[in-house]
Amino acid sequence: MQLKRTIRLVQHRISRSRPQYTLYASVLFSLALLLCRVIHTGSNLRVSLIWNLFLAYVPFAITRWMEKHPEQIKNRYNWYGCFICWLLFIPNAPYILTDLFHLFDGGVPLWFDLFVIFSFAWNGMMLGYISIRSMENMWSQRHSRWPAWLFTFPVMFLCGMGVYIGRFLRYNSWDIVKDPLTLLGDMRDIVLHPWENRSAWAFTICMGVFLSLMYPLVKKQHS
């Protein structure tokens, strides 16, 4: 009898955590593809994808920690401190999509590089979406009068702007501490001179709409 209860408990936990285990398996698949590429070419050309995926994992780790330690974030200063850190790192999740720009660098068949880059991008996107869903839930609990879309849409478009700043202006999340004045100056120019920076706004809008359209599909799976 005790054995049956234990088996049911294990099955329940596996079933509840299946999306998480699937994501971890997907990450391992990406790493295996990258290892094959390194062995085949003798080049570390795509190894930076690991760092990019780690940066995409940071906001996921922040929301996981917040969910597991609610007593640590009861204080609003602690909560908003975590939220700001999360907001600075969340653009790293969709950023990996732009590594597809390097698809034609060569060294392996084109189709294989497509799998390598897109698998990392997919995992980064999933980490980001799961993290956004978690933060949306926590935000809704704290601001129950706010409709969910009033949180989600701004985050998606801020992600779009963050990806543009990272890919084309070559900033990263650490620059808000290391070189804040230059970063804020460039962001001010984008905001105050939208026509001169229309490519930045076009990219931001396209990325924001793209992320917003995909999000409900992931949100439904993690409700």
Q: Nearest to residue 205, comparing CAs of 166, 154, 170?
A: 154
Is 110 within the bounds of a domain? yes
Q: CA-to-CA distance for 132 and 28, rounded, in angstroms? A: 22
Cα separation, 145 vs 134, whole angstroms: 18
In the structure encoding, which two tokens stand for residue 202, read together? 């076009």
**Which residues span the domain enclosing 44?**
21-221
pLDDT digits (tens, 9 = 90+) for 179-217: 888 888 889 999 999 999 999 999 999 999 999 999 988
In a domain, 43, yes or no: yes
Is residue 5 domain-resident?
no
3: in domain = no
In this prediction, what percent of the chain has a pLDDT beyond 90? 60
pTM for the whole thing?
0.87
Q: What is the pLDDT of residue 209?
A: 95
Domain count across the chain? 1
Residue 22 pLDDT: 86
A 10 A CB-CB count for 52 gives 19
Going by C-alpha positions, the residue among 105, 92, 118, 128 that lies closest to residue 29 is 118
Per-state percent for the chain, helix, strand, coil, to nearest 5: 85, 0, 15
Report yes or no on 49 lying in a domain.
Answer: yes
Q: Considering the domain boundaries, does residue 8 fall inside one?
A: no
Within a domain: 203: yes
* pLDDT tens digits, one per residue of 141-182: 888 888 888 899 999 999 999 999 999 998 888 788 788 888
**3-state DSSP assignment of residue 2:** helix
In a domain, 9, yes or no: no
